[in-house]
Amino acid sequence: MRHLGFLTFFVIICFEISSAQSVAGSIAGAVIDGDGKSVPAATVSFQRLAEFSRDSEMRLVRNDPGISGVLMSQQDGTFLISGLVTGRYMVCARGPNSKSLTGCGWEATAVIKLGQGENVNKIVRRTFEGSSIVIRVSDPQQKVSLPDTKGNLVADRRLFVGVVSPQGFYRPAIPATFVAGATSTDFRVVVPKRQSFRLFLDSDLTITDNLGNAIERQKASDFFVSPGTSDEIIVDLGVR
Amino acid sequence: MSVMDSMIEVITPFICTMIRYRCLWVQLLRGWALSNSQCTIYGTAGTGQISSTATDLTVNIRIGLTGSFALTTQTVYLWIVDNLWAGTGWVATSSWPLAAPQPPAVISGTPTATNVSPQTFTFTGRDPNGATDMGRMYFLVNSSPTIPQNVCHGFYDRPSNGLYLYNDSITVLMGPLTPGSSGSLQNTHCTIYGTGSALVSAAGTDLVVNIRIGLTGLFSLKTQKVYLWIVDNAQTGTGWVQTSTWTSSVPSIAPSSFEINLSAVPLDQYNTPGSGGLIFGCTANTVRLCVQQLFQSNPYNYRAQGVTGVRFFFTLAGGYHSTPFDAAGNVNPVWSQNIYDFFSDLKLYGITKVTPTPVFDTWSGPVSMMQAISATSCGEPVTLNFVPWLPYGLDLTENYPDRSCGNQSYSQAAHNPIFWGWTRFFNLMNTVLSRAAQAQLSVNALDYYQETNMADFTVMARFIYDFYPPGAGTSVDVLTELRNRMTSNGFSAGRIAPSANGPAKPTPASANCTNWYGDSALLETLTAQTAAIAGPWSKFGVPPFHSEFDYSLKCYNPATDPAEDETMPSIPVWHSQPTFTDMHSQKMYATDADTTTFSNSFHSLLWTFLVNRGLSGNDVVFGETNPVNCDGWTSTAAAAMITGYKSSTLYANAGARVTMRPWHRTETGSACVSSPHVINPPFNPFAP
């Protein structure tokens, strides 16, 4: 994540004000971590959703692509996005730590409907401390076909691995760069600490746990992964 | 016929003229025409003009020779008798060097080749007997020198200096139209313009006439030939002589397939007496008979215009006379039979492909079926509209797909508490596909969820994979289920191809930038759909973008914009990409030049997308541009779209795999023009 400085923030706000045809509004709130503590210097991103109308054929026509921008929270974790025009805003925050995760990625976060000149306050956005889950898939017979740069692969030898949170967020684990002749592949995904996740496998191959038991595929399985407070855990799987 | 105006000088008022011994004595009576088998003495046109002085009498006599008598040189003699019956004897006064009357000839028609319409043609005829011997100059625009009905046929009448045109059935002559006047003559196939037409000259032996002709409608789409036939005063004609070749002024898109949109077909009423009025412009008794008119019996039926494919909508709950389910949720056997009748009819009329398109919009059923229900969406209580055929709710005021939590909405927006479920839909699609197979039609594509925008409305991706959180329900792999049904009915699974919503409309028309996905920002909806289908391999939804400049596009600058948006979801199951790409391209600008610029840009970028995504072998649709004046569209704007397309890399590299699918509606109350309509330029399916 790239952090934009105050200058960029200023530019964005000026843009908003200059493009506004109505009285500007604002969104203010605070960024906290999983323990409820304020998060200074968090990256706060906001996005006004696109606006649409329907044409004579009932087709959705986008009138306004919306805008997006970022700013940083203050030392006390608060933020103020001002100069906003009417619209629906998605506001998310992410801590300064490289393993920090935005709460928007892991908990339901409703858009903020901002009326003309409205000031919405006391918005709370959470960040999570991340933990890497490395899913190491042993594949001595090299059955797995990983996608190339265009996503092409051998369909019946594909293996996609991901995790599903209790709230229903799915995140794919990204395979390490493919190495020809490798007999194992690491898939990596960063998840919030202290949560438990179900493994989701998409494959026609039979994938087993370290005890040799087949794991359910094409669904959120009963194979749970819980990183606890570790920065990284490794889960060993195999291709039968 | 040879005619001579003779001036005979006599000294007596009693006038007779004898040419040798074969021409009878006649008495000139003004206004008469006296004939025998050798000559005619005209009482008009100069005959009888008499002047006299003290000693001289001057008389004009107009004489015409006919038959074989006119084929050789004659001598004119005069014998004057005075009141005392003293005569001069025969005195040769004139030699009349006659020869066999020469037939007229067609000399030229220019230009000899053109693709411009209207076009001013310069026609030149020649008659050795003089330009004035040519009475009529007939013209014919047709593919062959015959005069069936429904061609462009008329003539220039020299004596009256008038232009005439026959009606479509060649039963009524319209005119005269004076060359140079502001009027025009028109049938369904061409227009003859007074302005631009002219009698250029009629001196010596040549008659030169300019005739300005414009071709219209279907007739203008095909290559035509221009013929001329000149008839002289003796009714001797040249026969048809081709003077020009007139190729279509429309840029051809051949080769390609050509598919007409019918919009919603009222399948419930297909065989119902009195239902024909549902098809705008149809006077037949049933929808079925209207379909026959559309594709077979009407002179301008779509088959005659080269259409080989049909894309049609059908509603799911009676919204426009289509009720595919009975009360128990099973496919209605009457509806099933009707769609089979429809398919069979299309096959009978020569249609080979169909693109069935179910309607998931709110008009798929009556308003009464929509319920405002309190639900939890994105973790918060909210009231949404729900219709039973959609797996998600709709915004309460706008009826947009629920996006209560932006990109998260795919998994976090409320599931529909009154959703019919997917099994019902799969059964219906299986019925449609099996009926198409039974009618021996192929399925060009199954646009099972049309005009997706999975960038702004991620819930739409539930039509690919309807994902439920653990314990909340059973996820359904919608795309795979539909592909299985395509395969089981003998069709290609890759033809399951939801269309993508039209491109963003950049300002200026040439503007473009790269979006976060790495494709053109114009293709955002197609890219998002592609990303969703790719499952775990890609995220989809609204990507990071920046707003430093405004093309109305979501441009991405990797130097300054976030590399990732953690709110963007992925579908947990991978799918191969469709082999058929359908992104509608109906954008139009205020000027045709801008429309052309945009079209060129859009279609070239579409080709780039296909190449970059490894989909360059896909079939592609040029879709939903309206070729007639309707809803702000104009035929010239549509032509501008085609012009841009034809200069695009998509056309250059994959033109043979592009399906032309102009937009059209047939429903009474919604259609702009009656059906069948002439699919005006530019949707020319014919080779030049």
pLDDT-derived band at A102, boundaries 50, 70, 90:
very high
**What pLDDT sits at residue B174?**
97
Assess if residue A86 is contained within a domain: yes
CATH code, domain carrying A90: 2.60.40.10
Q: Do A123 and A203 reside in the same domain of the chain? A: no
Taking CA atoms, what residue in A is nearest to B522?
A: A65
Q: Where are the domains of chain B?
A: 2-96, 105-246, 365-412
Domain final residue pick, A107, A129, A151: A129
**What pLDDT sits at residue A18?**
41
Distance from CA of A210 to the nearest CA of B (A): 23
A-contacting residues of B 550-569, CB under 8 Å?
552-554, 560-567, 569
**What pLDDT sits at residue B545?**
82
> In sequence order, which residues have a C-beta less than 8 Å from that of residue B328 and are 6 or more positions away?
none
Q: How many domains does chain A have?
A: 2
pLDDT digits (tens, 9 = 90+) for B190-207: 999 999 999 999 989 999
> Is 3.30.70 the CATH number for B105-246?
no
pLDDT digits (tens, 9 = 90+) for B253-287: 655 688 999 999 999 999 999 999 999 999 999 99
Q: Which two tokens stand for residue B108?
A: 């030229």
In the predicted model, what is the mean pLDDT of residues A1-8?
Answer: 32
Cross-chain Cβ contact B469/A147 below 8 Å: no
Q: CA torsion sign, B540 to B546 to B547 to B553? A: negative
Nearest-angstrom CA–CA distance, A189 and A192: 10
Looking at residue B222, what DSSP letter applies? S
ipTM confidence: 0.91
Taking CA atoms, what residue in B is nearest to A149?
A: B613
**What pLDDT sits at residue A138?**
95
Q: Do A86 and A187 reside in the same domain of the chain? A: no
Nearest-angstrom CA–CA distance, B67 and B515: 87
**What pLDDT sits at residue B223?**
82
Residue by residue, what is the 3-state secondary structure of B344-385? Answer: HHHHHHCCCEEEEEECCCHHHCCHHHCEEEEEEECCEEEEEE
Q: Which residues of B touch A110 (CB under 8 A)?
A: 377-380, 404-405
Nearest-angstrom CA–CA distance, B256 and B238: 41
Give pLDDT < 50 ranges for chain B.
1-30, 687-688
Note the pTM of the prediction, 2 decimals: 0.77
> In sequence order, which residues have a C-beta less than 8 Å from that of residue B459 and are 6 or more positions away?
B391, B392, B401, B402, B403, B409, B410, B413
Q: Do A138 and A69 reside in the same domain of the chain? A: no
Nearest CA among B170, B171, B210 for reference residue B192: B210
Cross-chain Cβ contact B504/A104 below 8 Å: no
Taking CA atoms, what residue in A is nearest to B536?
A: A172
**What pLDDT sits at residue B32?**
66
Q: Do A96 and A187 reside in the same domain of the chain? A: no
Q: Which residues of A touch B406 (CB under 8 A)?
A: 47, 49, 88, 90, 109, 111
**What pLDDT sits at residue B250?**
56
pLDDT digits (tens, 9 = 90+) for B7-45: 343 333 333 344 433 333 344 444 567 888 888 888 765
**What pLDDT sits at residue B67?**
74
Q: Which residues of A touch B612 (CB under 8 A)?
A: 150
HSE, side-chain direction, 13 A CA sphere, residue B372: 7
**Does B669 contact chain A (CB < 8 Å)?**
no
Q: Do A98 and A44 reside in the same domain of the chain? A: yes
Q: Which two tokens stand for residue B396?
A: 């309460």
Q: Do A188 and A232 reside in the same domain of the chain? A: yes
Cβ atoms of residues A91 and A81 within 8 Å: yes
Taking CA atoms, what residue in B is nearest to A147?
A: B537
Q: What percent of chain A has pLDDT over 90?
A: 74
**What pLDDT sits at residue B252?**
57
Assess if residue A84 is contained within a domain: yes
**What pLDDT sits at residue A203?**
97
**Does B406 contact chain A (CB < 8 Å)?**
yes
Distance from CA of B240 to the nearest CA of A (A): 50
Nearest-angstrom CA–CA distance, B409 and B569: 9
Distance from CA of A230 to the nearest CA of B (A): 21
Domain that holds residue A198: 131-239
